[in-house]
Amino acid sequence: MLNSRLCAALATATLLLSGCGTLGLGSDGTVTLKLVAADYGDSEANSSTHYWNDVVSRFEAANPKIKVDVQVLAWTDIDAKVAAMVKSGHSPDIVQTGGFADKAQANELYPVREVLSMDTEANLLNVFDQAGQVLGTQYGMPFVSSSRAFFYNKAIFAQAGISQPPVTWADLKADADLIRAKVPGVTPYALPLGPEEAQAESMMWINSGGGQLADDAGNYALNSSQNINTFTWLRTNLVETHDTYPDPSTVDRGKAFADFAAGKVAMLNGHPTLIQQAAQGKIDYGTAPIPRKDAAAKPTTLGVADWMMAFTANGHRDQIRTFLNFAYLKQNMLKLDETYNFLPVTQDSLDAMTAGGQHNDLKPFLDALPNASFYPYGDPAWDTVSGRLKKDIGKAVKGDPGQQLGTLEQYATDQAKSARQQ
């Protein structure tokens, strides 16, 4: 750590520094930002490294006094490695990953308004505003997004004599019974409540049943009467009648998607990557809004976002602001979305993706996004709570839903209270 006299001298020497940061200051006044980003590729050929290298190359050409050192990490490693960097005193300046609330709680982040221009901030889709907040202040900048839609196998529907996708839970139940009776060997509805992503499937059913995972104040509401009724309906109408897997708590999303792409599942909730899997499996599929308990209710979907965040430790606010305003330009965000089949988080890239009938396969997901409900990203304990939901919420369709949901709500509430007191 520099002493105060040296700090003052450096601050006078260059207008590029917004604080007395010691990391990344070159002898010529050049500042180097450290960017850590998650990898969305599944091979070296489509690694996010290529995307970021292109963005950084063009940024540095336009901003010769700012360099950007990019490190792209696997999802399995990024959060632990970023935590280790911060703990060792080598904090990055910018991180793009899945969560931000714990960093905001630890006072490690700049508020969004300090690192984005008014035009860039206004260009972010409004649906993400609240999801990016902690205690009323936005710290998370949406970077990529996804939503969910209902998928159905048209060939199986035709075999069962079903002419259109279900609108309500009652429709879904009637269709599932027909498929079970008329198309042997097919699972009518895939209900993946195993530990891979049970929180996602659960939240879609919770929302479509008129309930919430957490209320507007961030208080968990897992054990509400609406949610108890939802899981009771699932147990009674899908599990016990053999219209889904025998034990949904052991079935992961990956299996459900693979079974649909193999023609072994008739219906399920899915995100845009299932489009590619279904096409590869030569499945003639359709999409529709997620069925809801009451036909008169507004359709809902689950929205998922990954986030950009800006760290304060190195005092590089102005340089971070310059880079982020560049990174969120339409040409950069549009390339990212089209490369990895993501939904846009900025208005201009949304307009570009929907102009002239482009990306029709994504239209159901784009249409659903404005009405999306998000995880409680602003709760510093969400990662911990989510891990417990993945592990245990599937048990709510096996025994007494109220007892299981009550246990989970108490755990979530305790974790949230503890995190907020730290």
Among 408, 374, 370, CA closest to 392: 408
The dihedral sign for the CA sequence 411, 414, 417, 422:
negative
In the structure, what pLDDT confidence band is assigned to residue 356 with cuts at 50, 70 and 90?
A: confident
With CA atoms as reference, report the closest residue to 138 among 266, 4, 305. Answer: 305
Write out the DSSP string of 128-170: GTGGGEETTEE-PEEEEEEE-EEEEEHHHHHHHT--S--SBHH
Strand 372-374 with 301-310, pairing: parallel
326 pLDDT tier (thresholds 50, 70, 90): very high
* pLDDT tops 70 at residue 27: no
The angle formed by the CA atoms of residues 39, 136 and 413, to the nearest 5 degrees, is 80
pTM for the whole structure: 0.84
Q: What is the DSSP string of 107-136?
A: T-B--HHHHS-HHHHHHB-GGGTGGGEETT
Q: What pLDDT sits at residue 91?
A: 97
Comparison of pLDDT for 112 and 341, the residue scoring more: 112
Nearest-angstrom CA–CA distance, 173 and 169: 6
| Adjacent-strand bridge partners of 153 | 285
- The pLDDT tens digits of the residues spanning 368-403 come to 888 889 999 999 899 899 999 999 999 999 989 999
**Cβ atoms of residues 204 and 290 within 8 Å:** yes
Measured in residues, the chain has a length of 422
> Cβ distance 385 to 370 under 8 Å?
no
Which class for 68: exposed (0-12), middle (13-18), buried (19 or more C-beta within 10 A)? buried
Share of residues in the chain with pLDDT > 70 (%)? 93
The tens digit of pLDDT for each residue in 200-223 reads 999 999 999 999 999 766 799 999
Answer yes or no: are the C-beta atoms of 395 and 404 closer than 8 Å.
yes
What pLDDT band is residue 25 in, cutting at 50, 70 and 90? Answer: low
pLDDT in tens, 294-322: 999 999 999 999 999 999 999 999 999 99
Q: What is the mean pLDDT of residues 108-130?
A: 96
Separation of alpha carbons 421 and 197, rounded Å:
28
| Distance from C-alpha of 364 to C-alpha of 288, rounded to nearest angstrom | 7
